[in-house]
């Protein structure tokens, strides 16, 4: 699995011990590789642009800037930007929040480079397999991302605006530049996808929130 040609890896993780362990593991397997590291999202895109790495290994729960709060959404936004700007770059997402990647499934499915997902609970050997697959241009996603739930971007937007920003349907409609009727249509579609239907004695919005979190659509 080791590579003979000099390559560059970028490793992103805000936990020093995890970052050190990942780099040590990679350096042992790929002794000729140059490894660059980042602990915040704001450093990564410049690093990628300048270094033009062969592989990016990144956690999802990272802060935007030094001293900031680590959030899954920060990592997802960074990954969304990298996927858009570098369609052939290889990725390994190493995270305890891999279910949230369902939010980027359409982009992941279209990505031209290698893309593998490695839960942080994996053994070192399994992690290295995911690195090898990514470098070979392969796609690997967990079984729960391959079938079942299909969610459109506008549905995700409604969930984010309603449950993260706590906006009403009227304000959501204004922000999305659609009618309130369209927003209600989005609600019915995402609720159907999640298997959430009206039940007497239960608040359907609360049920939607709980199911969306379980499915990885919300943090």
> What pLDDT, on a 0 to 100 scale, did the predictor assign at position 90?
97
Closest CA to 26 of 118, 139, 140: 118
Short-list 191, 187, 182, 188, CA closest to 210: 191
Domain covering 8-146 in this structure, CATH number: 3.40.50.2300
Query: What pLDDT sits at residue 124?
Result: 94
Mean pLDDT score, 10-30: 95
Residue 2 has pLDDT above 70, yes or no: no
- Comparing 38-42, 76-80, 92-96, the range with the smallest average pLDDT is 92-96
pLDDT digits (tens, 9 = 90+) for 118-149: 988 889 999 999 999 999 888 888 776 766 67
Strand 90-95 with 55-58, pairing: parallel
Tell me the mean pLDDT in the region 86-97: 92
215: nearest Cα among 121, 123, 105: 105
Confidence (pLDDT) at 100: 87
For the whole model, what pTM was predicted? 0.73
Regarding predicted confidence, which is higher, 2 or 209? 209
Residues in CB range of 105: below 8 A, 6 or more apart:
141, 145, 150, 151
Question: Residue 204: which pLDDT band, with cuts at 50, 70 and 90?
Answer: very high
CA distance 110 to 119: 22
Task: Name the average pLDDT for the chain.
Answer: 91
pLDDT of residue 32 exceeding 90, the answer is yes
Residue 4 has pLDDT above 50, yes or no: no
Residue boundaries of the structural domains of the chain = 8-146, 153-214
CA distances from 177 to 11, 158, 165, 180, 195 (A): 38, 12, 17, 10, 27
Confidence of residue 109 (pLDDT cuts 50, 70, 90): confident
- Pick the closest to residue 134 from 54, 48, 51 (CA basis): 54
* pLDDT on residue 102: 85
Confidence (pLDDT) at 169: 96
pLDDT of residue 78: 97
pLDDT given for residue 143 in this prediction: 72
Identify the residue whose tokens are 């007497």: 200
Q: How many residues does the chain have?
A: 219
Average pLDDT, stretch 190-216?
89
Domain 153-214 sits in CATH 3.40.80.10: no
Buried b (16+ CB within 10 A) or exposed e, 23-60: beebeebbeebebbbbbbbebbeebbeeeebbbbbbbb
């Amino acid at each position: 699995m080791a590579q003979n040609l000099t390559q560059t890896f970028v490793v992103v993780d805000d936990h020093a011990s995890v970052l050190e362990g990942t780099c040590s593991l990679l350096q042992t397997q790929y002794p000729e590789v140059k490894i660059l590291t980042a602990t915040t999202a704001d450093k990564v895109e410049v690093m990628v642009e300048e270094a033009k790495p062969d592989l990016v290994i990144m956690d999802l729960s990272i802060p935007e800037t030094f001293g900031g709060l680590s959030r899954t959404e920060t990592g997802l936004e960074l990954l969304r930007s990298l996927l858009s700007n570098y369609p052939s770059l290889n990725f390994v997402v190493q995270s305890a929040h891999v279910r949230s990647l369902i939010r980027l499934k359409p982009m992941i499915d279209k990505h031209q480079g290698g893309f593998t997902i490695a839960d942080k609970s994996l053994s070192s050997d399994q992690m290295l397999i995911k690195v090898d697959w990514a470098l070979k241009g392969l796609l690997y996603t967990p079984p729960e991302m391959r079938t079942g739930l299909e969610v459109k971007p506008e549905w995700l937007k409604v969930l984010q605006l309603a449950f993260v920003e706590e906006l009403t349907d009227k304000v959501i409609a204004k922000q999305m530049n659609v009618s309130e009727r369209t927003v209600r249509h989005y609600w019915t579609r995402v609720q159907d996808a999640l298997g959430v239907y009206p039940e007497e004695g239960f608040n359907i919005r609360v049920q939607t929130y709980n199911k969306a979190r379980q499915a990885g659509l919300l943090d």
